[in-house]
């Protein structure tokens, strides 16, 4: 297996060596000082910690820039940070400059990724939904009432499943199953603080920057896949014509267009969304491309300007945040934040932290959310979150 050992993720990592990407995936051990991140362009395995981004009151982009500058002064030739940022990015970030970083091409370009993942252990699970399904439905109804009163245009409400296993969990094997199920997505296993691990497979790119080229790929509007091919195609076609889902998707696209415009010399936003599929879901997607006016603006600065989008929060953002705090009976933590990497040159990839769980030796806290608009029905949003849970639950071996 050939990989590149570097102190950063080179923007041009596009070489393909058979077995390199799947090899890095296989070497991930979910250690407290280890991070794995795979995207459609590269695969990264970070080991050890050279420096951590401090948790203080300064803006996140300033803290990261200072940490990278210090690493460069320490002799790290091309430093980067890798890790996760909370939904409330002013409150918490689990980011570090690794002591050693290995990088290679994308998982989806490695033929060995098609080999089967390790089978899931037979585990006796204790599962507790937070909130209970009926409470979540009542929360959706409350949000719809606020929406119909004109207070909000959209709010995203999440729920969790808290799972306890009767034996220690094999987190690297769970990551293997997530990655091999959707190798073209964004797979991650990064420290979550307190000895916990954030592990997941997100379908959604928040923002990437390579030089002055910027890409965002918001997803909003979803429907579960079907095992029946004809029904699966019917659901995909219906999603493309769904007024409720197109309405929800437009909120997200308009918000990203507005947030990016001040930074960009050119901005291309397609008129209609297309479809993105994962193993569990169909999503409406729009690929937004732009050219920066100022090449000094980093990927992380842009990601912070976008986050949280209406895809994970709502619109208008301040009122949606208030509704989330009032209705959701838990702290989102790193869920619905962003995970990825950014280097000292300003390049980076940041994805929305979805289809994920926070894990320790025997427990998982799995998250899923649904966008609520005035036309939403509690039973439909409950079904959508249940379908989204399956991405992670299937990888963990939790029976249906």
Catalytic, 388? Answer no
Could you write out the three-class secondary structure of the chain? CCCEEECCCCCCCCCCCCCHHHHHHHHCCCCCCEEEEECCCCEEEEEEEEEECCCCCCCHHHHHHHHHHHHHHCCCCCCEEEEEECCCCCCCEEEEEEEEEEEECCHHHCHHHHCCCCCCCCCCEEEEEECCHHHHHHHHHHHHHHHHCCCCCEEEEEEEEEEEECCCCCHHHHHHHHHHHCCCCEEEEEEEECCEEEEEEECCEEEEEECCEEEEECEEEEEECCCCHHHHHHHHHHHHHCHHHHHHHHHHHHHHHHHHHHHEEEEECCCCCEEEECCCEEEEECCEEEEECCCCCCHHHHHHHHCCCCCCCEECHHHHHHHHHHHCCCCCCCCCCEEEEEECCCCEEEEECCCEEEECCCEEEEEEEEEECCCCCHHHHHHHHHHHHHHHHHHHCCCC
Catalytic residue chosen out of the listed positions 34, 47, 94, 154:
154
Cα–Cα distance measured from residue 13 to residue 6, given in angstroms and rounded to the nearest whole number? 11
Considering the candidates 34, 47, 94, 204, report the single residue annotated as catalytic: 204
- CA–CA separation, 274 and 286 (whole Å): 6
Q: Active-site residues: which are they?
A: 154, 204
């Amino acid at each position: 297996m050939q990989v590149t050992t570097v102190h950063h993720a080179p923007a041009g990592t596009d070489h393909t060596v058979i077995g390199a990407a799947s090899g890095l995936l296989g070497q991930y051990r979910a250690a407290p000082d280890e991070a794995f991140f795979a995207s459609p362009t590269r695969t990264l395995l970070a080991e050890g910690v050279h420096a951590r981004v401090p948790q203080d009151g300064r803006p996140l982009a300033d803290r990261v820039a200072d940490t990278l500058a210090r690493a460069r002064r320490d002799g790290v030739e091309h430093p980067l940070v890798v890790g996760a940022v909370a939904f409330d990015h002013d409150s918490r970030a689990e980011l570090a400059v690794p002591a050693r970083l290995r990088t290679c091409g994308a998982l989806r370009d490695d033929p060995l990724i098609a080999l089967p993942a390790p089978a899931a252990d037979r585990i006796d699970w204790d599962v507790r939904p937070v909130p209970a399904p009926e409470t979540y439905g009542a929360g959706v109804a409350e949000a719809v009432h606020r929406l119909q009163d004109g207070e909000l245009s959209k709010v995203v409400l999440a729920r969790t499943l808290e799972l306890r296993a009767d034996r220690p969990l094999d987190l690297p094997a769970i990551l293997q199953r997530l990655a091999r199920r959707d190798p073209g997505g964004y797979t991650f296993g990064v420290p979550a603080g307190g000895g916990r691990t954030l592990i997941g497979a997100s379908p959604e790119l928040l923002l990437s920057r390579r030089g002055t080229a910027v890409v965002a790929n918001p997803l909003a509007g979803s429907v579960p896949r079907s095992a029946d091919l004809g029904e699966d195609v019917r659901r995909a076609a219906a999603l493309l014509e769904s007024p409720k889902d197109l309405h929800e998707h437009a909120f997200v696209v308009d918000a990203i267009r507005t947030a990016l415009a001040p930074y960009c010399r050119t901005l291309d936003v397609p008129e209609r969304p297309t479809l993105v599929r994962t193993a569990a879901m169909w999503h409406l997607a729009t690929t937004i491309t732009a050219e920066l006016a100022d090449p000094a603006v980093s990927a992380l600065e842009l990601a912070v300007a976008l986050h949280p989008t209406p895809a994970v929060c709502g619109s208008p953002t301040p009122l949606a945040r208030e509704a989330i705090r009032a209705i959701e009976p838990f702290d989102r933590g790193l869920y619905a934040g962003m995970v990825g990497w950014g280097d000292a040159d300003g390049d980076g990839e940041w994805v929305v932290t979805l289809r994920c769980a926070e894990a320790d030796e025997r427990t998982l806290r799995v998250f899923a959310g649904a966008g609520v608009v005035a036309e939403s029905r509690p039973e439909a949003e409950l079904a959508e979150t249940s379908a989204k849970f399956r991405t992670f639950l299937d990888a963990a071996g939790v029976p249906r």
